[in-house]
């Protein structure tokens, strides 16, 4: 590893927004540590990037597995940026949500984010940055109360960490994406996708690169003195325009 480069660890990097973020951070000159739950498609996508750059590595582990997370972070020569992007999502009306669904989503989206950030903060130096990927859904949404709760949790965690880590010089911010065309979005029925797109002021679904660009802003060593902020990148949906 070229340890004169700043090192960024991206979770959920095997596909979607995490993969787009990896590409963007490589362009920005970081050494990128890609983390995802399963070896595939992580390994295949990492191999394609390694063909063009020796500044990328990949590791299959769960963000909820503290010993594995701690071991990986301890193996890195430095850690300048953590992008807490991995999460799970599924639809379901409140009446049908099981306690198990609720706990499972909370475990990955909130506890996993917490575990990653806590282990990262142990080794981070002044000026390091943590970027949590929340969701516009933290505000509200139809038929996904566990997801809304977990993303409101990610926002709360961002703000709490920003205060507690400020004196260590670690900046903590979050991105709240709206509809983005990834496997997560494609897991919805075509009818539900069309219904959600119709509510967008832009009438468009965003692309993973749109979110990667926002993450890159918070991840940049040039972005100083910004912490505890939530940047919503949702095609204007959070303005509430669809209700007028």
Ligand X SMILES: NC(=O)c1ccc[n+]([C@@H]2O[C@H](COP(=O)([O-])OP(=O)(O)OC[C@H]3O[C@@H](n4cnc5c(N)ncnc54)[C@H](O)[C@@H]3O)[C@@H](O)[C@H]2O)c1
Q: Which residue is nearest to ligand X (CB)?
A: 16
3-state helix, strand, coil in the chain (%, to 5): 45, 15, 35
Q: Which is nearer to ligand X, 7 or 133 (CB)?
A: 133
Q: Which is nearer to ligand X, 3 or 242 (CB)?
A: 242
Contact, 24 vs 30, CB < 8 A? no
Kindly report the backbone phi and psi dihedral angles of residue 174, in degrees, each rounded to the nearest multiple of 5, phi listed first: -135, 155
Q: Interface residues with ligand X (CB under 6 A)?
A: 11-12, 14-18, 36-37, 62-64, 85-89, 108, 112, 133, 135, 177, 179-180, 182-185
As a whole number of angstroms, the distance between CA 165 and CA 173 comes to: 11
> How distant, in Å, are the alpha carbons of 17, 69, 76, 179, 205 from that of 184?
10, 24, 30, 10, 12
Q: Which is nearer to ligand X, 54 or 237 (CB)?
A: 237
Catalytic residue among 106, 138, 147, 244: 147
Task: State in angstroms the smallest separation of the CB of 225 from ligand X.
Answer: 26
Q: Is 138 a catalytic residue?
A: no
Task: State in angstroms the smallest separation of the CB of 231 from ligand X.
Answer: 12
Task: State in angstroms the smallest separation of the CB of 110 from ligand X.
Answer: 11
Enzyme catalytic residues = 147
């Amino acid at each position: 590893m070229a340890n004169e480069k700043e090192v960024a660890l991206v979770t959920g990097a095997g596909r979607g927004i995490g993969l787009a973020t990896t590409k963007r951070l490589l362009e920005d000159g970081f050494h990128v540590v890609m983390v995802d739950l399963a070896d595939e498609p992580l390994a295949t996508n990492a191999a394609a990037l390694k063909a063009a750059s020796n500044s990328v590595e990949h590791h299959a582990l769960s963000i909820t597995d503290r010993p594995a997370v701690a071991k990986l972070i301890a193996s890195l020569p430095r850690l300048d940026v953590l992008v807490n992007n991995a999460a799970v999502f599924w639809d379901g009306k409140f009446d049908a949500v099981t306690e198990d669904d609720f706990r499972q989503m909370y475990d990955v989206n909130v506890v996993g984010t917490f575990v990653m950030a806590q282990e990262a903060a142990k080794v981070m130096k002044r000026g390091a940055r943590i970027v949590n990927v929340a969701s516009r859904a933290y505000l509200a949404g139809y038929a996904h109360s566990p997801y809304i709760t977990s993303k409101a949790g990610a926002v709360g965690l961002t703000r709490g960490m920003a205060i507690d880590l400020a004196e260590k010089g670690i900046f903590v911010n979050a991105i709240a994406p709206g509809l983005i065309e990834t496997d997560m979005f494609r897991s919805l029925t075509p009818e539900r996708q069309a219904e959600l797109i119709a509510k967008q002021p832009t009438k468009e679904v965003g692309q993973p690169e749109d979110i990667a660009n926002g993450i890159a802003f918070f991840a940049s060593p040039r972005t100083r003195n910004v912490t505890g902020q939530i940047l919503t990148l949702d095609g204007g949906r959070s303005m509430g325009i669809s209700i007028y």
